[in-house]
Structures are given as structure tokens and as C-alpha cells.
Structure 1
Amino acid sequence: MLAAIPDLQCRADQSPEALFLSGIRGSSTREPARRDQPAHQLVTMVWPKALQECLAEDERFHTTLTENLSLGGETWQLRLQEADIVHRMFGLLSHAANPRHIDLSDHPELIERITQLYNESQRQGRR
């Protein structure tokens, strides 16, 4: 599972996209780099944490689903909530499907599964 990779945040922060954004942030300051500071301020990518939060929200949703239904929760509202979670999850998954955002070359089976999920979601969205 993607979120179970222990250095997910570090991998994302060292991705080509993060390095590119660090260069933009570093060049936006007018002060020249000093010897005791790096020329570019590293960027912390937000999508790994957002993905973990979204997965936790999905787990909470499914854990409380039976309780919400028994308390008279509206089915359409619950479906809408679940659709929102899934929509955000696939949006965040798109970062993992792009090698510009993370290097998963040491997890080829994960790359294949992420790519399948992403492609399936794109096909479903076009219908």
C-alpha cells in the first residue's frame, strides 16, 4: 500500500517536482544565498499527508457507516460523502501515478497497481 511506505514524505520531497518548486521558491527571494545556507529552500509536498488523512477519513467513514444508517442517516448524504472521499483520494493518487511527483521504481508492483487504478478512474470519469 502506498501510504505504508515509511519514507513516502521524504520521497515526495525529493521528487523532481519538489526540486523544481524549491528552485522557484529559492529564486523568488532577492537576497543572495549565503555560504551557511542552501541556495534553495526545500519544499514539503502536501499530497502525502493529505493522502494519509483521506485514507483515515475513508476508514472512519466505513467504520461508522452502519451506525450512521441505524441512526437514520440519509443514504444519499452518505453516498455523497463517500463520493467526495473517493474523488479526493483519486486526485491525490494521481500524484503517485506520476514519476515526476515520486520515485517508486523500487516498488514495481505498486506502480502497476496505482497506474491501473488511475487509468480505471479516468475511464470511469469519461462515461
Structure 2
Amino acid sequence: MSEPSNAWDGAVVRLWLARRFDAARLDQAAADRRDYESRDEYDKAAAEEWVCRALQLPDCIETQALFAQRLKELIRQEDYPATGVYDDMRFERHVRSQPRKIAKMAKANEGFDKRLHYQ
């Protein structure tokens, strides 16, 4: 892992995950109210919620190395159990993309300070 420009702050990452978790829940509710075309958006938001929930373990956020290790475990995982999604294959594809995106952020230690709803 390359050296980040600023020090790792687990509290900032924990807050970012909590905000993204809440935003994903809101996105699911909004997509659920819309028609058939929004099923992909629902599955994408459900995948983001699933990943944020899986990453909110108390011991994996404290250091950058533990967080990166947990992300690698999620990427290697074969099965992502979830209920209520419309398309399991699409959901799994979105779940696999989320840890990769977060891993890039963790490697550079950038982006966790951006907490707007839409990213």
C-alpha cells in the first residue's frame, strides 16, 4: 500500500460508512416507489447498504491495513446473502463493485470526507 498523504482516521471512515448506509436506505425507498425501470437502482442501493453494513465491524475500521484486509475478504467472498432484491445476479455485480471502489479510496485515503448524499 502506498503512503497516504494524511493520517488514517477511523472515525471519519466510520461516519462516511454510516452516511452512505443511510443514503442507500433512502435510495432504496425512493426506487421502490417508482416503476419497473428503477429495479436496477434499487438493487444498486441494496448492494451499497449491504457493503456498508459488512464494513461497519468495530475492529476493521481502526487501521488502514485492517480495513484493506476486510475489503479483500469481501471481494473474494463467493456468496452475498440478501433478501428483497429484484435480480440476484445484478445485486451481486453491484456488491462486487462497491468494495473495489472503497478499496481505491482506502488505498489513497481520500474521499471519506465527502458525505453528500449523491456521489
Q: Is TM-score (shorter-chain normalized) higher than 0.5? A: no
TM band (smaller chain): 0.3 to 0.5
- In the superposition, the TM-score normalised over structure 2's length comes to 0.35
Which of the pair has more CA radius of gyration?
1
What is the TM-score normalised by the length of structure 1? 0.34
